[in-house]
């Protein structure tokens, strides 16, 4: 197999770490170790190959390192695609998937993290107090998602499959990578032995936790996203007490 960079992009709180770990373990179990990349200034995490921006010099260094390693490496990102990465994808030097989730459930998870951060005096997500606070962040992320998803052969992974049918998700990832493997063995390793940032992990949280009017507002605002990435699109709004988005 020719070495390539695999880019695991996901919306915040969408199971993106789970998708990254499934990909990493699939590669490891197929005989492709996943060491920390050594390109200066590239990796922004002490634990995994998480990246943000990549310039032309770094992209060349990544290609050289992949050649030296002799196999594919997966990286995780939440950042928009830089031209250097776009070029790698269009030239066949990189592959990618994008991880999506119902924006209503992402918003609820963002609020959960906001409450925890404020209680601990931490800055991450602390600005999210009401559902309306999540709109700007979601809008920005969906613009980023659309840029990644428009790249050649980008594979879309849905949160519900990743979180609640992980073996199937592992099989999809194997097929996309083009490598052999045992989806059950991959899922077992990830779910039981790898860090995945698992939080509430409840399917369709909005049905019981989001007021109907708010759910309807989200469906209207993100109708195109639902139609494109979460088909069949949800019908109707969740039941709940009446509550404005700004409460």
The pair of three-digit structure tokens given for residue 127, joined into one six-digit string: 């600005």
* Averaged pLDDT, 62-76: 97
Percentage of the chain exceeding pLDDT 70:
92
* pLDDT for the residue numbered 151: 98
* pLDDT for the residue numbered 31: 97
- Average pLDDT for the chain: 91
- pTM tops 0.85: yes
Q: Does the pLDDT value for residue 124 go beyond 90? A: no
Q: Which tens digits make up the pLDDT trace of 190-226?
A: 999 998 876 656 788 999 999 999 999 999 999 999 9
* pLDDT for the residue numbered 245: 39
* pLDDT for the residue numbered 179: 97
């Amino acid at each position: 197999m020719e070495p390539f960079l695999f880019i695991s992009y996901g919306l915040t709180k969408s199971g993106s770490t789970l998708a990254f770990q499934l990909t990493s373990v699939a590669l490891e179990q197929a005989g492709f170790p996943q060491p920390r990349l050594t390109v200066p200034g590239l990796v922004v995490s002490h634990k995994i190959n998480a990246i943000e921006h990549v310039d032309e010099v770094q992209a060349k260094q990544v290609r050289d390192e992949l050649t030296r390693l002799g196999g594919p490496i997966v990286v995780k990102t939440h950042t928009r695609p830089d031209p250097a990465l776009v070029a790698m994808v269009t030239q066949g030097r990189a592959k990618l998937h994008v991880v999506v989730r119902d924006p209503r459930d992402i918003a609820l998870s963002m609020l959960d993290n906001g409450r925890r951060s404020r209680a601990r005096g931490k800055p991450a997500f602390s600005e999210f107090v009401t559902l309306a606070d999540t709109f700007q962040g979601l809008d920005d992320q969906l613009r980023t998602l659309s840029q990644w998803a428009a790249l050649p052969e980008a594979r879309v992974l849905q949160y519900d499959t990743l979180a609640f049918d992980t073996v199937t998700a592992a099989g999809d990832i194997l097929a996309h990578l083009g490598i052999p493997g045992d989806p059950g063995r991959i899922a077992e390793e990830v779910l039981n032995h790898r860090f995945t940032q698992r939080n509430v992990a409840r399917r369709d949280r909005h049905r019981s936790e989001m007021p109907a009017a708010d759910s309807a507002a989200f469906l209207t605002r993100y109708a195109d996203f639902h139609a494109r990435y979460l088909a069949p699109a949800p019908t109707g709004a969740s039941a709940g007490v009446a509550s404005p988005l700004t409460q």
